[in-house]
Amino acid sequence: MRPAHLTAGHAAAPVVLVAHGSRDPRAAEATRALARAVAAARPGAPVLPSWLDHTAPGPAAVLRELAAAGHSRAVLVPLLLTAAYHRKVDIPAAVAAAREAGAPIDVRVAEVLGPADGEVDPKLLAGLRRRLAEARPDGYDGLVLAAAGTRDARARGSVGRVAAALGADLGVPCRVSYASAAPPAAGAAVAKLRAGGAHRVAVAAYFLAPGLFHDGVVAAAGEAGAVAVADPLTDLPELADLVLRRVDAATADWVPL
């Protein structure tokens, strides 16, 4: 017997979350927790996690199972904060693989969770603010937005837009840092703000899940004198709401079955 969440007949099309994947088991658990949060926020829609690497199942396998269970539609949400290589190449390849395997299912791919069409979603900013308030409730006078990093210049530009919006929202200078692929590193960004006169520099984690990159940011920022490093966004209600906003935008023209 197929699991109930795979069986057709639900009121809404299944939502397939697609995370990057990591060898760190904390990352997969964060994705599963977000799937549970999204499902709780919209009862009746199956919400299934998948991963591009390191953790099974992959998105193509999930789409094949949904099609085999009788679902004619699904919406795939990239759990990515920039529209770089994984969104441009890996996710379309997974959808194509499901189709080539004969899965008769209409798949819509939503926007990434970072800025879409240049706009920073208020829910993303609200989640970053919440994590900062948890990490440093008594405030700060400088801020670093620590991201994973990419060689894609347009993707880095989208991170810069988030930093600018977050700094404006909070009324403090906000610099970007990257854990890989591009400078500056978190420690260097913290040091730059401190050299410019900031005495209480906090770090906002532009990560969806814990792992090696976030651990490195915590260590480097602390060594550079940061007063706090926020946790990743994981399964915050603001993030679950953002996922559902992406689902709704991707399926706005679907005629109800």
CA distance 14 to 93: 19
Identify the pLDDT of residue 100: 83
Q: Are residue 67 and residue 109 in the same domain, yes or no?
A: yes
Q: Are residue 128 and residue 57 in the same domain, yes or no?
A: no
Domain residue limits at 190: 122-229
Residue 173 lies in a domain: yes
Tokens of 153: 């210049």
Q: pLDDT means per 10 residues in the chain (257 residues)?
A: 48 90 95 98 95 95 94 96 79 88 88 91 98 96 95 91 97 96 94 97 98 96 98 98 97 84
Q: Are residue 207 and residue 132 in the same domain, yes or no?
A: yes
Q: What is the pTM of this model?
A: 0.91
CATH number reported for the structural domain that contains residue 189 in this entry: 3.40.50.1400
Q: Are residue 66 and residue 131 in the same domain, yes or no?
A: no
Q: Are residue 136 and residue 191 in the same domain, yes or no?
A: yes
Q: Are residue 204 and residue 225 in the same domain, yes or no?
A: yes
Residue 256 lies in a domain: no
The count of domains in the chain is 2
Bond prior to 43 in cis (omega within 30° of 0) = no
Cβ pair 216, 147 in contact under 8 A: no
Q: Are residue 134 and residue 77 in the same domain, yes or no?
A: no
Bond prior to 57 in cis (omega within 30° of 0) = yes
Tokens of 26: 């904390």
